[in-house]
Amino acid sequence: MQTTLTEKQFKKLASLVYNESGINLSENKVSLLQARIAKRLRATRINSITEYIEYIARDQAEYTNFIDGVTTNHTFFFRENKHCEFILKTIDRTKHLKIWSAASSSGEEAYSIAVQLLSASYSFEIMGTDISATMLSIARKGVYPIERAQAIPADMLYRYFKKGMNDYQNYIKVKDEVKKHVTFTRYNLITDIAADTYDIIFCRNVMIYFDQQTKMKVVANLIKALKPSGYFIIGQSENLLGINPGLSSVTPSIYRKGS
């Protein structure tokens, strides 16, 4: 089985990923791409990368699996939770909140926000979106390895999650009372346009993979969906330098739209 990418193959596949998702795979990501391709070769029982490239050009389902495999990112509950703490300290809990968790991956971000707002008696609804159908399926099921829950406070873990039994003893499941506040749908940050507006938009730890042009396009589209005086929240390792989206900085990685 051929799993070593030639320079030409890497550029071809990186171009497909960029055009579909906006993620810019630099040359230092060759090993990552090779590992993800090797997994798909085993799954499809295809023996060469050349043959696989030809296959995804004619098979939409496998093309989707390829994009899913390359764009999936690791996440966990209560990641960078200072953002949620800011919401709890800042926003009036009598206000009904509409929140968008963009690039929500497998759903931990959306559910982390939900359990904290529930615990504080907020009225809210959350939309989680991602480009990966695989990740969205996991999010809708709401079943996770227990090691991803290490940062969840014990009282919230007991109140809002079920502990798995038998074959699922090392898993937790989000309770229905949490799920009813959260919906998940597929959305491409590069090509899709939001049909609704939101009080808060989270778009964390995905723009680090975008080049400046793509980042500007994504932010501009997201800001159109942000209500006046709404909050736009990015990852703590990200910034909006060189972008002028009509936002004012509230604190590092948290911005507010003008009224």
Using alpha carbons, select from 62, 52, 67 the residue that is nearest to residue 16.
67
| pLDDT of amino acid 32 | 84
Predicted TM-score of the model (pTM):
0.86
CA distances from residue 98 to 109, 123, 148, 197 in whole angstroms, order as listed: 15, 9, 26, 8
State yes or no: pLDDT of 1 exceeds 70.
Answer: no
| pLDDT of amino acid 174 | 98
* 184 burial level (CB within 10 Å; 0-12, 13-18, 19+): buried
Of 3-12, 107-116, 187-196, the one with minimum mean pLDDT is 3-12
d(CA 158, CA 117): 16
**Long-range CB contacts (within 8 A, 24+) of 27-31:** 30/5
* Average of per-residue pLDDT values in the chain: 92
Q: Tell me: the pLDDT tens digits for 203-225?
A: 999 988 899 999 999 999 999 99
Q: 65 Cβ partners below 8 Å, 6+ apart?
A: 40, 43, 134
Structural domains present in the chain: 7-71 (1.10.155.10), 82-257 (3.40.50.150)
d(CA 194, CA 61): 25
What are the counts of helices (DSSP H) followed by strands (DSSP E) for the chain?
10, 10
Question: Among residues of the chain, what percentage have pLDDT more than 70?
Answer: 98
Helix axis angle for 60-71 and 7-21, nearest 10°, is 90
State yes or no: pLDDT of 2 exceeds 70.
Answer: no
Query: Taking residues 19-46, what's their average pLDDT?
Result: 88
Query: Taking residues 121-147, what's their average pLDDT?
Result: 95
Q: Tell me: the pLDDT tens digits for 160-179?
A: 999 988 888 899 999 999 99
Query: Taking residues 40-47, what's their average pLDDT?
Result: 92
Question: Among residues of the chain, what percentage have pLDDT more than 90?
Answer: 75
Token pair in block for residue 105? 């991956």
Q: Tell me: the pLDDT tens digits for 53-63?
A: 999 999 998 99
| H/E segment holding residue 144 | strand 143-145
d(CA 221, CA 181): 24
The vertex-112 CA angle with 167 and 109, nearest 5°, equals 90
Split at pLDDT 50, 70, 90, the class of 230 is very high
